[in-house]
Every structure is written in C-alpha cells, then in structure tokens.
Chain A
Amino acid sequence: MLYKVMGRDVFKDFVKSLISDYEFIGPKKKDKAVHDFVPIKDISELDINYKRTTIPPAKKILFPPDEKLVTYEVNEKIKVRPLIESSEKVLFGINAWDINGMNFLDRFFVTDFIDENYLERRKKLIVIGMDSEPTETNFSPSMDSEYAKDGFDLYLTELKDRYFIRINTARGDEILKKYAVTEDALVKDFKDYNNYMDNYRKKFKLNVNIKDFYDNFELIYDDDEFWKRVAKNCYSCGSCNLACPTCFCFNVKDDIELNLKDGNKTREWDSCMLPEYGLVAGGLNFRPDKENRLKQRYRCKLKTFFDKFGRYACVGCGRCIEVCLAKINIADDINSIKKEVSV
C-alpha cells in the first residue's frame, strides 16, 4: 500500500479526465429514494454523497442479473460459442462494505470452480473507492467491513482540504500518476486520516454480536417455533437475496428460438428464499417451508462461509433490512439468538 495526498482543487480535474478516458461507472441520483451506479458521461451527473444504492453496484457490474453464457446453433453439427462480455471500466465512488462484498464474490467465484465470465470482468474493473454515509440499518463495523483492506485500486478519503489516497495496485499508481498531481502522505496526513476514521466509525449506530450468533446458531437450528416466528411474515420474495452484495446463486436457462436451430443459455439471479429453489427432479422439495429457507439463508451467510473462507457472507450493508416489506431484520435476529437459547 502506498499513501498519497491530493488537493481538493485537483479532484475535479482528476475525475473529469477519468470520465473522458474510460468507461466510467459512478453513483447518480435515480429518484428521491435511491442512487444507482450507472455510466457517467459528465461530472455533473456524478453524486458522491449517496446514502443508498438500489441494488449492489459491484454485483450487478461483475455478475449481471441476466447474462448470456453460451449461444449455440443446431444443424448437422452443433456449434457452441461461449460468450464473455467484458470491457475495461472505472467503478468510482463505491464504498468499503460494497468492496468487501466484491471481495467475498471474488473468493466464491474462483474457489470450487473458476467463473471465467466473472473473473474477466473483475480483472478489467478499475475500482476507486470512497466512503459513503451509512444508513441506520448498516452494521458494517460489526462485520469488519466498514474499511476495505483490499479489492480496490485506489481509495480516496475526503479530509477537510485534501484527499488521503490509499494506493493498492500498480494499476492504481499509474492512473494516479497520469491524471493527478499528488504528494507523499506525511505524519500530519496520517493523523488527520486516523481522526477521520475514528469519527467515521462513530456514524454507524447499529451493532450486532456476530460471535454470539456464530457460537449459538447450532443450538437454535432445530427450534422450529423460533424460526416460524422469525419467518412469519416472510413473503418468500427473494428481495433480501437479490439486494445482497454477496449473494451469488444463479439459475441457468436454456432458450431455443422458434426456428429450433438457434439458442442460448442464460443465467439469471436466483434466490434461496423462493419455493422452487429446493425443488429437485421427481418433484421433491427439500426446503418446502419459508422458515426452513430463512434459517438456511442465515446459516449460509453467517456460518457456512465463515467455516469455509474465514469470512462471513454478509458485510452488514443493511440492504436486506431496507428492502424487506415483511420487516425481517437480520441484525435483530443475530442479536436475539443468544437470549433465545439461554431461556
């Protein structure tokens, strides 16, 4: 990691040059409720001061909701053509917990198999992070995700009169050298940065005791009454999964044209909360009830992947709490487990 500082006056020109030289994705106000990460053509569209983004920006760029994987042509011989659509992009203004969400996906998509489509896009994605204000449902510090240790090229932190920059890759260093005048960070800069981080961390009001949850989860796992209560109002609508920056499940569909010659295989975001998720050939569904599916989701996020990767499949962004019309609150549920098992 290298550390530099950049004057506030340089920032605007730096961003403008990136917009003109790269395919540039950044936060833009979408409606009164949310911002969205979209291609930016002019700096006036960019709005760094966002609180909420619709769906996880990183996930949708690296792992689109709908993606053609393969096209094929059935004649005397079958011709199959794999598709990987990717191009070099700058992702600007993504916050730490969403970078940590990407870091989780990075791990997932290369561990048991290599997902070439994901990997190709990830390699070509230049990530420039910046902090954003947490919402009241955000519990990132409890999940060790309010700060990004890796997974980005540059991370810009706005101090009073300058930006403190963490340079994490050679690519980031080159970009910074090419497009901005910077100076080495000095002791004063580090001090100001530390002060900033102390204050920033105070802005997160929601805490969860994830260790208590982890240690007691197996004790509650078979308590059907508890899970029925938690899932009582669940719609099985999958909104929690589909808004999640770490959910990776997908379904592959085979579409053949009416000419019965041309076709393609498409993958789309799936969700473990949908009834059909556990449906297998022969009509058996091994997770027919909503309470069953909900506890499995919690296990996947807060247990399974910690055991497997040493990192939770949850960054505490709070999106699932915000999108849930049934008001199911993962933070409350994490905090309630210990009390529940000690009764």
Chain B
Amino acid sequence: MSKPKVGIFGFTGCGGCQLEILNLEDQLLDLVSAVEIVHFTEAITEHSDNYEIALIEGSVTTEHDIERVKKIGDIAKIIVAVGSCAVNGGLNCLKNLYGVERAKELVYGDKKDWIDSIEVKPIDEYVRVDYYARGCPPNRLEIVDIIRSLIIGRKPEIPNYPVCVECKRNGNTCVYDFGITCLGPVTRAGCNSRCPSSGTGCESCRGLIDDPNINAQKDLLAEYGLTVEDIISQFNLYNACKKVIAKENKK
C-alpha cells in the first residue's frame, strides 16, 4: 500500500492550526511514516501539487484565496477543513459585521484601497469539504484520528453532541454552578471540554451541534443576567458567519 500524499495549506488565520499539527510531538514520526507530506506551509520548503488529501486551515478573505482554495479543491480527493477559521469562518467573520469597506477604513484609513479584502467565508463556501476538524485551536488528536480513519477507510467519528457530555465524563462541576456562563450546552464536543475543565465557560469555537436548542440557551443566558446584545456577541465570537450555521443544520 503506497502512502497517501497529504498537503497542509494555510489561509487567513493565525497559523496556529498548523502549529497544532507540529505540536503532535509524540506522534509526529508515526504520522510522517503513515502519510507522505508534500506541502506544509509552516514546516517544509518543498512543494508538490500531487496530493490526495488536503488539510486546509484559515478562512477565505481575498480574491487570491478563492483561486488558491479552488485549485486545491480540483486536485485533492479529500478535503479536511482544520480549525474554526476554515470550518465556520472563525473570528475573522467579525469583520463581516462591520461591512468590508467600513472594516478596511477602520484599520487602514485613507490607504484602504491598497488592501485586497473581501467578505470572510469559510472554505466550504468555495470547495466541497469532506471532514471538519473543528476548534480554535483544533484538537490535534482529532486531526490524527481523521487522518488515521482516512488511511483505514473508516468514517471519522466527530462528535455531534454538546460539550456537557465531556464535562460530565471528566467529572467537572458545571461552571454555571459558579455563576460563569458557558455555550457548552449548544456547542459541538470533541475538545475534551477544554475550557470548562479549566474553570472557564465555552465560547463555542467548535461551532454549534447540528440541532442546538438555541431558545433554551437564550433563556439560560438571560437568567444569568445577559442582555440580548451580550448573547448575540457571545454567539458571534466564533459563529458570526451565520449562513454557515444555517447550512450545517440542513446537512
């Protein structure tokens, strides 16, 4: 069996998702034995356009990004969106709330025309995405699980249940018991309840589950003293590209 060829690409984002792959210290050697990495923006200088699996991080925010991501889509047989920016637009989507022109003006003033910047979108607005490794940063063990599943021809198991499940398995006291608000009840697990385990509320970086009870969550947050604006801003931090949420729900 020849090793599958993998390209790891970066779009608009902090680049931390690629770092997470490099942070797989204990498994990195096994990973490069199992697959052949032909492109890895942050780690190697070599490049080849011959790959079957593309891991893409970052969101699409320029015309040039659109061309690049479409080209990857033409080559790769399987595309994995890695991290919040690629999966649901991530923090970058906050720009859309201002409108592109206003945002450019706020940041670049009278030089705004120098900047090539368009409305932020997650990558699946332009290419088909087969699997989503969610989170900011993504759970690196989940990235390994996706790759491993692809090698052995199995569908990766990405949770579609809320973070509460992992909190309970981990024996966490609910952060609401300490008066801290948390989006865990509507957010897709898979992070091993990383934030609540450290005593802070979930900010929904992995996006919502397929069938979130948004009304219940609004009631709950309101009970804890949040205004409608607060609630919207909590949801918007990672999920401002709302169209994505609506689209995912249909799947």
Query: A235 touches which one: B30, B162, B171 (CB < 8 A)?
Result: B162
Known contacts A236-B162, A275-B211; A268/B169 CB under 8 A? yes
A238 near B165 (CB under 8 angstroms)? yes
A257 CA to B30 CA in the complex, in Å? Answer: 9
Residues of B within 8 A of A34 (CB): 173, 177
Give the interface segment out of B52-60, B212-220, B237-245: B212-220
Query: Chain A's interface: helix, strand, loop or mixed, by majority?
Result: loop
Residues of B within 8 A of A31 (CB): 173, 178
The winner among B145, B167, B174, B212 for most chain A CB atoms within 10 A is: B174
Residues of B within 8 A of A48 (CB): none
The winner among B169, B209, B212 for most chain A CB atoms within 10 A is: B169
Query: A234 touches which one: B31, B161, B213, B219 (CB < 8 A)?
Result: B213
B148 near A325 (CB under 8 angstroms)? no
A326 near B213 (CB under 8 angstroms)? yes
The distance from the CB of B141 to the nearest CB of chain A, in whole angstroms, is 10
A259 CA to B151 CA in the complex, in Å? Answer: 11
Known contacts A34-B173, A237-B185; A260/B151 CB under 8 A? yes
A258 near B33 (CB under 8 angstroms)? yes
CB of B249 within 8 Å of the partner chain: no
For chain A, the bracket of interface size reads: 35 or more
CB of A30 within 8 Å of the partner chain: yes
Residues of B within 8 A of A255 (CB): 145
Known contacts A258-B31, A325-B176; A233/B219 CB under 8 A? yes
Known contacts A238-B165, A242-B165, A259-B30; A325/B157 CB under 8 A? no
CB of B50 within 8 Å of the partner chain: no
| Chain B residue total in the interface (Cβ 8 A) | 41
B34 near A55 (CB under 8 angstroms)? no
CB of A99 within 8 Å of the partner chain: no
The distance from the CB of A75 to the nearest CB of chain B, in whole angstroms, is 16
CB of A323 within 8 Å of the partner chain: yes
A242 CA to B163 CA in the complex, in Å? Answer: 12
B169 near A65 (CB under 8 angstroms)? yes
- A259 nearest in chain B by CB position: B30
Query: A258 touches which one: B148, B167, B172, B209 (CB < 8 A)?
Result: B148
The distance from the CB of A260 to the nearest CB of chain B, in whole angstroms, is 7
A104 CA to B150 CA in the complex, in Å? Answer: 41
The winner among B167, B177, B213 for most chain A CB atoms within 10 A is: B213
Q: A252-263 interface mask toward B, CB cutoff 8 Å, 1 = contact, 0 = none? A: 010111111000
Residues of B within 8 A of A313 (CB): none
CB of B186 within 8 Å of the partner chain: yes
CB of A145 within 8 Å of the partner chain: no
Seed contacts A54-B173, A66-B169; 20 additional CB < 8 Å A-B pairs: A30-B173, A54-B171, A234-B216, A236-B211, A238-B161, A238-B165, A242-B164, A243-B168, A255-B145, A258-B33, A259-B34, A269-B169, A271-B161, A274-B161, A275-B160, A275-B161, A275-B209, A275-B210, A325-B185, A325-B220
List of 10 A-B pairs having minimum Cβ-Cβ separation, nearest first:
A242-B168, A237-B164, A258-B30, A233-B216, A65-B169, A235-B185, A33-B177, A237-B162, A274-B161, A258-B34
Chain A residues packing against B (C-beta within 8 Å): 30-34, 36, 54-55, 60, 65-66, 232-239, 242-243, 253, 255-260, 268-269, 271, 274-276, 290, 323, 325-326
Chain B residues packing against A (C-beta within 8 Å): 27, 30-31, 33-34, 144-145, 147-148, 151-152, 157, 160-162, 164-165, 167-174, 176-178, 184-186, 209-213, 215-217, 219-220
